[in-house]
Amino acid sequence: GRSRVPRSLFIIGSDTSAVEYAQMFAIFGTKVYLAERAGRLLPGEDREVGELIEKHLHTTKGISCLTQAQVTGVEKKGLGVRVSYRRGNASKSVQVDEILFTDERGPQTDLGLENARVDYTPAGIDVDEFLRTNAKHIYAAGSVLGEHSPTHVAIMQGRLAAHNMFTRASRMPETHNIPRIAYTFPGIASVGLSEDDCIKRDLAINQAVVPLAQVPRSNTSDFSAGFVKLIADKKGQLVGATIVAPHAAEMIHEVALALHHQMSARDIASMPHAFLSWSEAIRSAAARLSAS
């Protein structure tokens, strides 16, 4: 195995794991290339996220973000690898020490489940709404279900599976309003519906985006790369949020709780938020939505 950090690295894909790895290796001094088929990084998030993160990764860490790039070949070359890719009509290649492919891992179901007569497919173990398999005394939770489960979802499912095993009052896991987190810097967090989700559902919405530069904390921390985006339906009820900020993972739970209790933008706007906190951006975005 390699005993040193690679001098150069080509990462294929730009999901949250890919962006986290890209920034981490760049901090260690690695020259990083980040290739993505879509027109922006993090295509599963709102447009503003990918655009801001791409600019931030390039300007602060020198990461080469290759959007609309299709990898066409990989060839062993000396001690490294030559990666060929196509962007538009142009074919290019780059020599790197290592390649990292961050595609989602499949469920680890090679457990002898046949012996317990538990039904499963290559996509994962089959469970009902209470996380019970077809073998009524066996429950399953986490990534073995075939879904891309972040750790906090797997923990919740594990607790509910244990509860349902030993009590008659079975509970169903929460499937809505679960925060989605990327541990980059600045952090990325979202909850509920994205703008693209609303478009697909033909849902009429209002939205407000507040750059971090508009809250006082950006001056005292000398950092402004980020924003808070809130989305509400035409009645003013919150339906989604995206935050890019130094403490996005902590900030998102305020909005997740608001979504869980079907609160309006006005409810958040009317609540004082601590001065010199990043969360003032949430109140500011809610105030703009209330006025729209």
> Which residue, among 65, 45, 80, 94, has the nearest Cα to 196 in the 3D structure?
45
Give SS3 for 55: helix
Q: Are strands 64-66 and 31-35 parallel, antiparallel or unpaired?
A: parallel
Note whether 169 and 209 are within 8 A (CB): no
H helical segments located in 221-277: 248-260, 265-269
**Rounded distance between C-alpha atoms, residue 159 and residue 126, angstroms:** 18
> Which residue, among 27, 47, 71, has the nearest Cα to 197 in the 3D structure?
47
- The answer to whether the peptide bond before residue 150 is cis (omega within 30 degrees of 0) is no
The pLDDT tens digits along the chain (292 residues) read: 567 899 999 999 888 999 999 999 999 999 999 999 999 999 989 999 999 999 999 999 999 999 999 999 999 988 899 999 999 889 999 999 999 987 666 788 888 888 889 998 888 899 998 889 998 899 998 888 877 777 878 888 888 899 999 888 888 877 778 899 999 999 999 999 999 999 999 999 999 999 999 999 999 999 999 999 999 999 999 999 999 999 999 999 999 999 999 999 999 999 999 999 999 999 999 999 998 7
Question: How far from 222 is each of 55, 203, 268, 270, CA to CA, in Å?
Answer: 18, 38, 26, 28
- Show the tokens assigned to 287: 């105030």
Note whether 72 and 86 are within 8 A (CB): yes
- The overall pTM is greater than 0.75: yes
